[in-house]
Structure 1
Amino acid sequence: MAVAGTGQSNENWSGRAAFILAAVGSAVGLGNLVRFPYVAGDSGGGAFIFVYLATILFIGVPVLIAEFMIGRRGGGSAIAAVSRLARTEGRTRAWVIFPILGILASFLIVSYYSVLAGWILHFIQVFAVDIGGRFVAEGPVALTAPAFEGQSDEEIGGILPKLLSQPGRMIVLHALFMAATVFILSRGVKSGIEAAANVMMPIFFVLLLGLTTFSLVTGEAMQALTFLFTPDFSQLTGSTLLRAVGQAFFSLSLGAAMMLTYGTYLSRETDIKSSSQIVATADTAVALIAGLALFPIVFASPVLSADVMGDNDPGLGLLFVTVPRAFHLMPFGSLFGLAFFVMALFAALTSAIALLETSVSWADGDYDVPPAQKARRRVIGAICLGGLAFLIGIGHALSQVPQTVAATFFNDWSPLDAIPLFQGMNFLDAIDALATTVLQPFVGMITALFAGWAISTSAAKEELRFDNDSTFALWQTLVRWVAPIAVGLVLLYGAIIVPLLD
């Protein structure tokens, strides 16, 4: 039997930099661009960020280290890695339930994430047509104009509702995005996932920094800085603290077998501890910088500012309704609006790749499968699993069609309505809540327990190579006690207490 931890014939990352880019890409998603900045500003600003950073340090990074460690030491897929480690350590095979549920969570998420990414494709086309048409008519001066010049605020705010009334178009865009995800995954780790991250992530960071500079120069920078970073410790209630824990946990893509799967492709030479710190730092930096790219242009309009501040959770409306309206009011709005949605597309695609890879990695077999057969299985697995996710996504797309436009089974179906957590939720919202409110926290909690208790101290020390015993003891304490308790409270609060109180 192969020895755990050698990572035999897995196709490994070509180097540490490639691994970090791919891992950052998997963590950085639409939540970093819109959800975190709003949650931070609305929940105490600098006070919330302080708690969030502490949570990243003492919960997020230790669990991230644990996922990478489990993946590399076990090898194969997420399921194979945990099964092998449980057997090697003389533990029950029942531990394998947590990677199975993690893969399920990722698969459910990508089935609707692709639909939302299709909306981004639509907005890219809308901005491209706007700027392209005026460039042909007016020349380079068109680049300096606001987005959608000549259209009313109501017309721009109606772009998304108009798309939602076109189910056929939503499904086509969903298919295009899923096809791109499947194509990249079918090419393997180095030629697919790694190559895509090496192209998209540098462009993403350039666009983010460019948009942030533009936003700070042309928008209400001071109001945005005040909203995001002025500490209000009166907002730090118990629920806010749990919100910070949950946000930190989900932002790093923990509890969904994504980082565990990426860990199976790690070489023995890669230092897991420092790599985890870099991934967490980059993910957090993107979330903070995204707020500076977004809110100065939103706060430049009193109307948009009032709309955002008056909404308890603007969510996707901030991305698909408020942002286009904001670029309508800004010089160079068409150009930077197009750049913003291209940036959002790259964030969505790198995350979708990681989400679907968890199940594709399982489908292509363990590391004892011959490379040629493994490659064939990967192609077939990517097509079949991507196709299944696409079919489920059709239901998500149809659930968003207003009933006044077309009555479908999915936009009149609340699949889990009997359970308080899911009452009144349509198909997409129910699957989202199941995956992110129930499965991810549960899987993350069990992952920490497995790393802290099921894997022997000697094996963990050998894999992680901490500088001294005291640092290792701190990590082990955090994954044995602090992380499971904190994440367990997030699960209890989000899945049980809040629904019952509502």
Structure 2
Amino acid sequence: MASSNRAQFSSRLGFILAAAGSAVGLGNIWGFPTQAASNGGAVFLITYLVMVFILAYPLLVAELTIGRFGASNPIRSLISVAPKHKLLGSAVGIAGMLGVSGILSFYAIVAGWFFGFLIGPLLSAFGFDSAAAWLEGFGIARNLVLMGVFMLLTVLVVRNGVADGIEKWSTRLMPVLFVLFIAMVGYTLLQPGAMEGLKMFLVPDMSHFSPDLMVSAMGQAFFSLSIGVCTMMVYGSYLRKDANLPKTAAQVALLDTGVAFVAGLLILPAMFVAQKNGVQIYSESGALLDGDTLVFSVLPAMFDTMGSAGLIVGVAFFALMVIAALTSSISMLEVPVACISEELDKDRKTVVWWVGGAIALFSSLIIFNFGSMFGTVISVTTEYVQPILGVIMALIAGWIWKRNEVLEELSHGNPELANSTFWKVWPTYVRVVCPILMALVFFWPLFK
């Protein structure tokens, strides 16, 4: 167990905004709408919501509970709940640390693109067209510079620790993100063509349902809620003992899912607004063009049709994306920084530069081998590493961790928990139902 002087979030709201900030990121605003647009809109939305409710939420509670009980980095926290299985705890903690570093390596590249699209239109407005074109074009040098700038921002926030870094910036940035989001959805829905996108997003066509869609929806639920790669375990370790964990986890999940839903309300109608203005979105076969870069091709085209208002709306949107990316990237970098600084007893202000630098180097490797590595790293980390580690954590919480210790930890913020429906259902659910459901989702495609 860690010492009592361990850093903590100063308020429950600070934690919820930081945890929601971790969850609310490019997974919601870049990943979710792209997945929805590629997988029939409403059908993907419904499957995703089901996956969040039946799989991601129970595992989110498990991760937060392990983190708060251990009150340390993920390696030590997992060992503390499974003292007879130290090798397993260490291996899962290290795998989580490497998995989240892999996610951050591609995340920083994409976030850098958003940074370029934020600055580009402003430079263009002042006559620096060639600089703007460089920032918005695709190239190795541009990708390296923008990734480096974004990683630097992430390192500087994490360097300041929990209360002065992560919590301070999450509580500032998240409200700004929500206001920008709602304003942009309102504006987009009033544009010609938007209703067609809204219909696609909200009216299900079950012909699109498939085993592949289920795997994608599960991966998306895990990715957007930061499950399986120890970010929530680290945040849980900074939580006060009086926090009601099931309730807090539900608030984080609802906030995160709400943002994904609102992102769909923005991006899918925006696609059809752009299409109305002559931008091709789907190929002749009906496949989505440029899935990974959908946001970068469709939205700027829509903004260009708005005249002078387009500049303001475009800058606001990409500012929103950079904010969302930053609140997630700081939670990801915190995992390896917490592990390495505590395990090796090194100063976090030194460790954060070493870890940030190592991840930036791997990001550079992806940039130099973009065609072969980018999609592979995304698929391996979000569709396989995250869910598999999520299952292992469910098995540790359900089978290895002593049930009376779990109840005691969960009861700290909720003394009546022992008699609640949650406690009657959750331990068995995490122990049996979650692993079976995840195995079904994983292996179903093999039998199609």
| Same fold by TM-score greater than 0.5 | yes
Select the residue among 307, 317, 321 that pairs with 2:282: 307
For the pair 1:340 / 2:354, whether they are aligned, the reply is no
Q: Secondary structure at the match of 2:82?
A: helix
- Cα 1:80–1:51 shift into 2, 3 Å: same
Q: Secondary structure at the match of 2:342?
A: coil
For the pair 1:326 / 2:316, whether they are aligned, the reply is no
Stretches of structure 2 lacking an aligned partner (at least 5 in a row): 412-416
For the pair 1:383 / 2:353, whether they are aligned, the reply is yes
How far the C-alpha of 1:46 sits from its partner, in A, is 3.5
Select the residue among 398, 402, 405 that pairs with 2:368: 398
Q: Which residue pairs with 1:95 in the alignment? A: 89
For the pair 1:474 / 2:447, whether they are aligned, the reply is no
Stretches of structure 1 lacking an aligned partner (at least 5 in a row): 135-147, 401-424
How far the C-alpha of 1:313 sits from its partner, in A, is 6.7
How far the C-alpha of 1:34 sits from its partner, in A, is 2.9
Does the 8 A contact of 2:281 with 2:289 survive in 1? no
Select the residue among 413, 429, 441 that pairs with 2:387: 441
- Cα 1:492–1:96 shift into 2, 3 Å: farther
How far the C-alpha of 1:339 sits from its partner, in A, is 0.8
1:379 and 1:306 map into 2 onto residues whose CA distance is 45
2:283 and 2:398 map into 1 onto residues whose CA distance is 42
Q: Which residue pairs with 2:165 in the alignment? A: 192
Does the 8 A contact of 1:22 with 1:350 survive in 2? yes
1:230 and 1:53 map into 2 onto residues whose CA distance is 15
User: Partner letter of residue 118 of structure 1?
Assistant: G
- Cα 1:475–1:333 shift into 2, 3 Å: same
- Cα 1:159–1:484 shift into 2, 3 Å: farther
1:243 and 1:115 map into 2 onto residues whose CA distance is 22
2:94 and 2:121 map into 1 onto residues whose CA distance is 40
For the pair 1:485 / 2:436, whether they are aligned, the reply is yes
For the pair 1:455 / 2:374, whether they are aligned, the reply is no
2:111 and 2:49 map into 1 onto residues whose CA distance is 28
How far the C-alpha of 1:442 sits from its partner, in A, is 1.2
Q: Which residue pairs with 1:29 in the alignment? A: 25
Q: Secondary structure at the match of 1:365?
A: helix
Does the 8 A contact of 2:180 with 2:320 survive in 1? yes
User: Partner letter of residue 29 of structure 1?
Assistant: G
- TM-score, normalised to structure 1, is 0.81
Does the 8 A contact of 1:246 with 1:490 survive in 2? no
Q: Secondary structure at the match of 1:433?
A: helix
1:55 and 1:7 map into 2 onto residues whose CA distance is 37
How far the C-alpha of 1:187 sits from its partner, in A, is 0.6
- Calculate percent identity across the aligned residue pairs: 33
2:158 and 2:218 map into 1 onto residues whose CA distance is 31
User: Partner letter of residue 317 of structure 2?
Assistant: F
User: Which protein shows a greater Rg?
Assistant: 1
User: Partner letter of residue 307 of structure 1?
Assistant: Y
Provide the aligned C-alpha RMSD in A: 2.6
How do residues 59-208 of structure 1 correspond to structure 2 at under 5 angstroms? 59-87=55-83, 90-133=84-127, 163-165=137-139, 167-208=140-181
Does the 8 A contact of 2:16 with 2:251 survive in 1? yes
Q: Secondary structure at the match of 1:218?
A: coil
Select the residue among 244, 263, 287 that pairs with 2:260: 287
1:92 and 1:200 map into 2 onto residues whose CA distance is 38
2:333 and 2:437 map into 1 onto residues whose CA distance is 28
- Cα 1:306–1:183 shift into 2, 3 Å: closer
1:18 and 1:342 map into 2 onto residues whose CA distance is 22
How far the C-alpha of 1:250 sits from its partner, in A, is 2.0
How far the C-alpha of 1:52 sits from its partner, in A, is 2.4
- Cα 1:379–1:488 shift into 2, 3 Å: farther
User: Partner letter of residue 83 of structure 1?
Assistant: I
Does the 8 A contact of 2:74 with 2:339 survive in 1? yes
- Cα 1:24–1:173 shift into 2, 3 Å: same
Q: Which residue pairs with 2:414 in the alignment? A: none
Q: Which residue pairs with 1:355 in the alignment? A: 332
Q: Which residue pairs with 1:17 in the alignment? A: 13
Does the 8 A contact of 2:37 with 2:288 survive in 1? no
Q: Secondary structure at the match of 2:279?
A: helix
2:361 and 2:41 map into 1 onto residues whose CA distance is 40
Q: Which residue pairs with 1:233 in the alignment? A: 206
Out of 316-325 and 232-241, give the one that drifted further: 232-241
- Cα 1:113–1:285 shift into 2, 3 Å: same
Out of 483-492 and 349-358, give the one that drifted further: 483-492
User: Partner letter of residue 375 of structure 2?
Assistant: D
How do residues 426-437 of structure 1 correspond to structure 2 at under 5 angstroms? 426-437=372-383
Q: Secondary structure at the match of 2:383?
A: helix
- TM-score, normalised to structure 2, is 0.90
Does the 8 A contact of 1:7 with 1:267 survive in 2? no
Structure 1 residues 252-277: Cα deviation after superposition (integer angstroms, max 9, x where no partner): 11111111111110110111111111
Structure 1 residues 11-40: Cα deviation after superposition (integer angstroms, max 9, x where no partner): 010011000111111111212113322433
Q: Secondary structure at the match of 1:164?
A: coil
User: Partner letter of residue 300 of structure 2?
Assistant: P
User: Partner letter of residue 450 of structure 1?
Assistant: I
Does the 8 A contact of 1:252 with 1:283 survive in 2? yes
User: Partner letter of residue 104 of structure 2?
Assistant: V
Select the residue among 230, 234, 251 that pairs with 1:278: 251
Select the residue among 232, 237, 246 that pairs with 1:264: 237
Does the 8 A contact of 2:105 with 2:360 survive in 1? yes
2:289 and 2:443 map into 1 onto residues whose CA distance is 21
Does the 8 A contact of 2:34 with 2:292 survive in 1? no
2:385 and 2:180 map into 1 onto residues whose CA distance is 33
Structure 1 residues 366-397: Cα deviation after superposition (integer angstroms, max 9, x where no partner): 6xx9xxxx7x6111110100011111111122
Does the 8 A contact of 1:27 with 1:283 survive in 2? yes
User: Partner letter of residue 103 of structure 1?
Assistant: M
1:455 and 1:19 map into 2 onto residues whose CA distance is 25
How do residues 40-51 of structure 1 correspond to structure 2 at under 5 angstroms? 40-51=36-47
2:94 and 2:443 map into 1 onto residues whose CA distance is 21
User: Partner letter of residue 18 of structure 2?
Assistant: A
Structure 1 residues 390-434: Cα deviation after superposition (integer angstroms, max 9, x where no partner): 11111122223xxxxxxxxxxxxxxxxxxxxxxxx6123332222
Does the 8 A contact of 2:211 with 2:444 survive in 1? no
1:313 and 1:239 map into 2 onto residues whose CA distance is 19
1:251 and 1:493 map into 2 onto residues whose CA distance is 23
How far the C-alpha of 1:469 sits from its partner, in A, is 4.8
